[in-house]
Structure 1
Amino acid sequence: MSRRKEVVTLTGLCLQNIADNMQSVWMKDYMTKNMEEYNFLFIEGPFNQLAGSLVQELIRILGESHKLNKGSLHLLLQPHLLELSLRSCAGIVNVAIMQLVTVRCKHLTSLDLHSCNRVPAASLATLIEGLPRLTKLCLADTQCDSLVLEAIGRRCPRLCELDVSRCKKVSSSSLLSVVYDTQGAAFCCQALRVLLLQDVKPKGSPEQWAQALCFILLALPSLEELPNPSLSAALNLLYNKSFTKAGTCIDGFPPLAEVAQSRTASEGKIKGAANMRNHQLNSPASSPKVTQQRSSGMPTLRLKKLEDLEEDDVSAVGSLCPLVEEVAISLGDQPLASWSLVQWAHLTKLTLHCPQKPERTLEEFLAALQVTGNSLQVLSIQNLMWCQDHSLPALLTMCPNLRSFQSHFTVLRQNLPPNEPELPAWPRDPLPLPRLHTFSLLIEGEGSSQNTFRHKLGGFLVSVLKGSPQLESLSLCGVQAPLDSVFEVVYGSSPPRPLQRLRAVSLCGSNVTQWGASLVVRSGSDLRTLDLSHCKEVTCRDHHQLQERARKERLNLTISWL
């Protein structure tokens, strides 16, 4: 069955046509008359009549195709723009361009200057001071420093998202300027929900950096995301109330104990008002007395995403952050500690990984995962040992609403009896995963090549593939199960035919031949990529034959082999 290439929209074709003719048509008059004039406010022409979203898309197309220069950017920086991203043309953004944005684009609500590192901090600060409507700002990998961060704190009260990742000049004291105005002695940027600090290395002692992050957590009541390796230390500082001994966090800013008291009092007022309303509506469960007890405790953080959380910190962090939706837990080398996922009722994305040699088993975590399995949409389990054949099917049965499953397991060699028992028949019933879009399984270890394990793994894959009608991406790496037989059974199933939405298949290093690969190719799905790298049973001749089949059937398919 031939498959057509993706259809480009009419809007996309028109914008691409403009981009292709930018120099020869749209820039012709500008090049002869106005090339050196960067400061006039208005340019009469077609782009001031184009919707702001289309102007931004045109900037992206020109930038990614390396057709954008300062002159064409001058034409496209229109006053009616509400969103502007210069990420695709960061190399040509300089002080003059920043001045132009400052003068002409005063209504921006979203600005992305990722990697625009030729612009000095003073120009960035001047720009930001003139954009009080900003709700989203990306300054990642720029010269952002204390001057810029102070301008953000003073002039951007509506800001909801701020990215200062990989900014080398960001320090703990300058970072606090975003959330606290020392001159006015008041908290600022109270609407901030996302503060991205990836690869921002702490200057000074690690304790001071942890105190700074703790200050931010307390100062921002709506904060949902604060990715940084020191976040766990800050959360532990808050959980243990160690800030009462820490004194002043940083010179010029109030002590952490004072910030915590202000946050707790503010939350107490809000809860008290809510409970009073409930009490007036004859709700006996709420009372002023209960409110007073709650307000005397620790503040509730609204963090929804936690990265690289140590296993030992799960219980403490869970009590502070009950609204977490995404978490990545780094596992130690000790048996399962006394932690649970029950405190995270909203958890939808979970990652469990051993950073070193796999010492932990999948079986240890089945009970913990059963508590939250029904709500999980994304599950990643990396570098664990898989010891019992039924564990992985049992895990997926617990998680019927998964959209993505990624895994990496080591299988140890099992001591089988001298007379190997008869291999059981493969299950006929599918394992129902109606929402699964991505399935990835990487297997290694001596036990992965044993006949019993290979056979049972094949049956498990048949159940998964037959029960995943929405599957778009399939990755089976190092899988020694007989995949030819797996695909024969799956594609031979009665209607509706499975795997009709597959777009990407990787069978790298797995046990498959040309026959199994050809079943995937001619399945009738909208397949775009097929990776057969390091498949020992696929020869160079097989690869050429598969490519020839794809060419004859006019398939938009790339087949990799090595």
Structure 2
Amino acid sequence: MSRRKEVVTLTGLCLQNIADNMQSVWMKDYMMKNMEEYNFLFIEGPFNQLAGSLVQELIRILGESHKLNKGCLHLLLQPHLLELSLRSCAGIVNVAIMQLVTVRCKHLTSLDLHSCNRVPAASLATLIEGLPRLIKLCLADTQCDSLVLTAIGRSCPRLCELDVSRCKKVSSSSLLSMVYDTKGATFCCQALRVLLLDDVKPKGSPEQWAQVLCFILLALPCLEELPNPSLSAALNLLYSRSFTKPGTCFDGFPPLAEVAQSRTISESKIKGGSNMRNYQLNSSASSPKVTPQRSSETSVMPERLTLRLKKLEDLEEDDVSVVGSLCPLVEEVAISLGDQPLGSWSLVQWPHLTKLTLHCPQKPERTLEEFLAALQAIGNSLQVLSLQNLLWCHDDSLPTLLTMCPNLQSFQSHFTVLRQNLLPNEPELPPWPRDPLPLPRLHAFSLLIEGEGSSQAIFQHKLGGSLVSVLKGSPQLESLSLCGVQSPLDSVFEVVYGSSPPRPLQRLSAVTLCGSNVTQWGASLVVRSGSDLRTLDLSHCKEVTCRDHHQLQERARKQRLNLTISWL
């Protein structure tokens, strides 16, 4: 059965046709002019009649196909655009293009200038000052500096998402100037929910950088995401209430104790969800002011202060309890495990948790089994679970874990299997379970196996049975990755595809079986299953020969499948 072809919309076909004929039709006369000398306020033509979302989609298509040039941008930068992304053509974006955007696109709510590093900071600041409606702004890998960040703080009161990752000119003081106006003694960017600072490494000591992040956490009451390696240090500083030292992080900014006092006062005035939304949309002019405290009051820290952070990355295991008390609204967390047994921390402190990653950063020293009790307490709410570089000691741990998490949408794992001490008279291998393990929402399943224990017959047999149960119980599965699995996958696929209707695995689009125990027969079962398969990776599968690979490709060709089969 051939794979279902993708349905292309009429709109998509029309935009692709315009893109294909951009040079020969729409740019034929316009390219004869020196476009660097013109800053047209209005351009007569078809694009000022096209909906803004369609114009943006056309820019994306042209950029990804490398057909976008400055002339096209002159035609496509229309006043009615609400969203604009120049990421796909960052190499041609310069001062002249920025001037066009500044003059024409004054109603933008979303702007993406990722990697547009040919534009100087002054041009970026001028552009931002004219876009007070911005809600989302990406300046990653640009010349963004203190001038630009100050302009953001003063001119973008509605901004909710900001990305300044990999901006080498971003400093600690420039970040503070974005969230606090020293002239008016008011906080800025009060609606900001996401602040991305990946690979931002300002000068100064680690303690000073932690204080800056702490200042930002206190100054932005709606902040939900602040990924940075020093975030844990800032949270520990906030938890320990170490604001007894006089002075500030930087000259001109209030002490952290006063910022914390102001945050507490502001939160006390906010009652109910509607009041919170009104508070988020306040302009910087109406932002709360920092009231100077007497010297005897600067060390006072509110008894209870909670942050609205919802996503935490690379959280050290030792900091889980501290962070949990400060951030009760966390929905996504990645915990870096140490070499000590499970301590006193618990995941129950995060009732809204839906995405969890547990990983050992170096060699695996922690076992899957020691986390089963902690995962059981939150299993029903988990949608994404990733367990990386853990030891697997007992055969039935994986099905036990998956049974605890019936609402999983994505499961990723990397286990090292320990060799088991078998009894002299090992009983016969038990039959595989007939009942599926119900995972009705599972879209992606990934299992990477290593270790001496994975070669033992008893483990291979039981794992094969577990895979049968999982695959039979996952009707929505689209991505399947089984790497290093030595269980007889031919038999697994025979049982799964031989199940009574409805047939399983009809939505599979990507299958990876790298280094696993599968032959051409098992692979052919996957190919001819009638699923929506696009990629099949058989790399390092010892039982698949070059001839088998060619035969599988020939089968896919005869069935007119749009399928890529990898083998090495």
Q: TM-score range by the shorter chain?
A: over 0.9
The alpha-carbon deviation at position 330 of structure 1 amounts to 0.2
In structure 2, the CA distance between the partners of 1:129 and 1:514, relative to structure 1 (3 Å rule), is: same
Change (3 A) 1:143 1:280: closer
| Aligned partners of 1:507 and 1:532 also within 8 Å | yes
CA distance 1:271–1:319, change in 2 (3 Å):
farther
Task: Pick which of 260-269 and 248-257 moved more.
Answer: 260-269
Taking the aligned partners of 1:280 and 1:408, their CA distance within structure 2 comes to 42
* Cα root mean square deviation, aligned: 5.0
After superposition, give the CA deviation of every residue in 1:114-135 in whole Å (9 maximum; x if it has no partner): 0000000011001101111111
Partner of 1:276: 276
Question: Does the 8 A contact of 1:246 with 1:256 survive in 2?
Answer: no
User: Cα 1:285–1:458, aligned 2, differ >3 Å: closer, same or farther?
Assistant: farther
Question: Could you list the per-position Cα deviations for residues 306-352 of structure 1 after superposition, in whole angstroms to 9, with x for gaps in the alignment?
Answer: 00000000000000000000000000011111100011000000000
Change in 2 beyond 3 A, CA 1:276/1:74: closer
Measure the CA separation in 2 of the matches of 1:160 and 1:250. Answer: 26
Are 2:190 and 2:281, in contact at CA under 8 Å, matched by a contact in 1?
A: no
Shift of 1:35: 3.2
Distance in 1 between the 2:281 and 2:23 partners?
A: 68
> Hey, what's the Cα distance between the residues in 2 that align with 1:389 and 1:291?
62
Question: What is the CA distance between 1:412 and its match in structure 2?
Answer: 1.2
The Cα shift of 1:275 comes to 13
Instruction: Decide which of 356, 365, 368 is 1:359's aligned counterpart.
Output: 365
C-alpha contact 1:361 1:384 (8 A) present in aligned 2: yes
Distance 1:204 1:292, change over 3 A: closer
State whether residues 38 and 96 of structure 1, in contact with CA within 8 Å, keep that contact through their aligned partners in structure 2: no
Q: Is the 8 A contact 1:264 1:295 kept in 2?
A: no
Deviation at 1:286, TM superposition (A): 30
342, 349, 352: which one aligns with 1:346:
352
**Matched residues in 2 for 1:155 and 1:238: separation?**
29
The aligned residue for residue 416 of structure 2 is: 410
Per the alignment, residue 450 of structure 1 pairs with 456
User: 1:439·1:471 contact (CA, 8 Å) conserved in 2?
Assistant: yes
Alignment counterpart, residue 430 of structure 1, candidates 417, 432, 436: 436
- In structure 2, relative to structure 1, the CA distance for the partners of 1:271 and 1:17 (3 Å cut) is closer
Instruction: Please state if 1:387 is matched with 2:396.
Output: no
Q: Contact 2:507–2:531 (CA<8 Å) still a contact in 1? A: yes
Displacement after TM superposition at 1:38 (Å): 2.5
Report the alpha carbon displacement of residue 279 of structure 1 after superposing the two structures with TM: 23
CA deviation vs aligned residue, 1:464-485 (integer Å, no higher than 9, x gap): 0011010000000000011000
Deviation at 1:281, TM superposition (A): 28
How far apart are the structure 1 equivalents of 2:490 and 2:275?
63
SS of the counterpart of 2:314? strand
Q: 1:279 to 1:491 in 2, by over 3 A?
A: closer
Structure 1 residues 315 and 546 mapped into 2: Cα distance closer, same or farther (>3 Å)? same
CA contact (8 A) 1:268 1:295 kept: no
Q: Work out the CA distance in 2 between the residues paired with 1:533 and 1:560.
A: 6
Is the CA contact (8 Å cut-off) linking 1:505 and 1:529 kept in structure 2?
yes
What is the CA-CA distance between 1:36 and the residue it aligns to?
4.3
Shift of 1:78: 0.5
Equivalent-residue separation in structure 2 for 1:540 and 1:366 (angstroms): 42
Alpha-carbon distance between aligned partners in 1 of 2:289 and 2:65, rounded to the nearest angstrom: 64
Compared CA separation, residues 352 and 246, structure 1 to 2 (3 A):
farther
Given that residues 440 and 475 in structure 2 are in contact (C-alpha distance below 8 angstroms), is that contact kept between their aligned partners in structure 1?
yes
Kindly tell me: are residues 286 and 423 of structure 1, through their superposed partners in 2, closer, same or farther at Cα, counting changes over 3 Å? farther
Is contact 1:275–1:291 with CA below 8 Å preserved after alignment? no
Q: Distance in 1 between matches of 2:70 and 2:525?
A: 52
The answer as to whether partners of 1:276 and 1:286 remain within 8 angstroms in 2 is: no
Post-superposition offset of 1:280 = 26
| 1:555–1:271 Cα change, 3 Å | same
**Change beyond 3 A, Cα 1:43–1:540:** same
**1:161 paired residue number:** 161
Q: Deviations over 1:228-262 (max 9, x none)?
A: 10100000000001133364122111000000011
The secondary structure found in structure 2 opposite 1:381 is strand
Structure 1 pair 199–523 and aligned structure 2 pair: CA distance change class (3 A): same
8 A Cα contact 2:191 2:281, kept in partner: no
Counterparts of 2:503 and 2:248, CA distance in 1: 66
More deviation in 415-424 or 27-36?
27-36
Instruction: Provide Cα deviations, 1:59-98, integer angstroms capped at 9, x if missing partner.
Output: 1111111111111111100011111000000000001111
CA deviation vs aligned residue, 1:351-397 (integer Å, no higher than 9, x gap): 00000000000011011111111000000000000001111111111
Aligned length, in residue pairs: 561
Query: Structure 1 residues 290 and 335, CA, compared in 2 at 3 Å: closer, same or farther?
Result: farther
The change in CA–CA distance for 1:422 and 1:285 in structure 2 (over 3 A counts) is: farther
Tell me how far apart the structure 2 counterparts of residues 258 and 123 of structure 1 sit (CA, whole Å): 35
With the length of structure 1 as denominator, give the TM-score of the two structures: 0.95
Q: 1:343 to 1:77 in 2, by over 3 A?
A: same
Preserved contact between residue 262 and residue 289 of structure 2 (Cα < 8 Å): no
Task: Provide closer, same or farther for how the CA distance between residues 494 and 100 of structure 1 changes in structure 2, counting only shifts above 3 A.
Answer: same
Q: Residue 2 and residue 287 in structure 1: after superposition, are their counterparts in 2 closer, same or farther (change >3 A)? A: closer
Q: CA deviation at 1:278?
A: 20
Moved more, 412-421 or 393-402: 412-421
- Structure 1: 5+ residue runs without aligned partners? none
Aligned to 1:482: 488
Whether contact under 8 Å (1:82, 1:110) holds in the other structure is: yes
Contact 1:244 1:256 in 2 (8 A): no
Contact 1:218 1:260 in 2 (8 A): yes
**Residues 272 and 291 of structure 1 are in contact (CA less than 8 Å); yes or no, is this contact kept in structure 2?**
no
Q: Distance in 2 between matches of 1:285 and 1:28?
A: 49
Summarize deviations over 1:140-187 as a string: whole Å, max 9, x none: 000000000000000001101000000001111101111101111100
- Asked if structure 1 preserves the Cα contact closer than 8 Å seen for 2:153 and 2:180, the reply is yes
Name stretches of at least 5 consecutive residues in structure 2 with no aligned partner: none
Please give the alpha-carbon distance, in whole angstroms, between the structure 1 residues aligned to 2:319 and 2:134: 36
Once superposed, which parts of structure 1, at least 4 consecutive aligned residues long, lie more than 3 Å away? 33-37, 271-296
TM-superposed deviation, 1:552: 0.4
The residue aligned with 1:534 is 540
Tell me if structure 1 keeps the 8 A contact 2:517–2:541: yes
Per the alignment, in what secondary structure is the counterpart of residue 128 of structure 1?
helix
TM-score when normalising by structure 2 = 0.94
State how far apart, in whole Å, the 2-side matches of 1:369 and 1:137 are: 37
Shift of 1:282: 32
Q: In 2, are the aligned partners of 1:4 and 1:556 still within 8 Å (CA)? A: no
Q: How far did 1:3 drift?
A: 2.0
Q: 1:548 to 1:307 in 2, by over 3 A?
A: same
Structure 2: how far apart are the matches of 1:64 and 1:124?
24
Shift in Å, 1:33 = 4.3
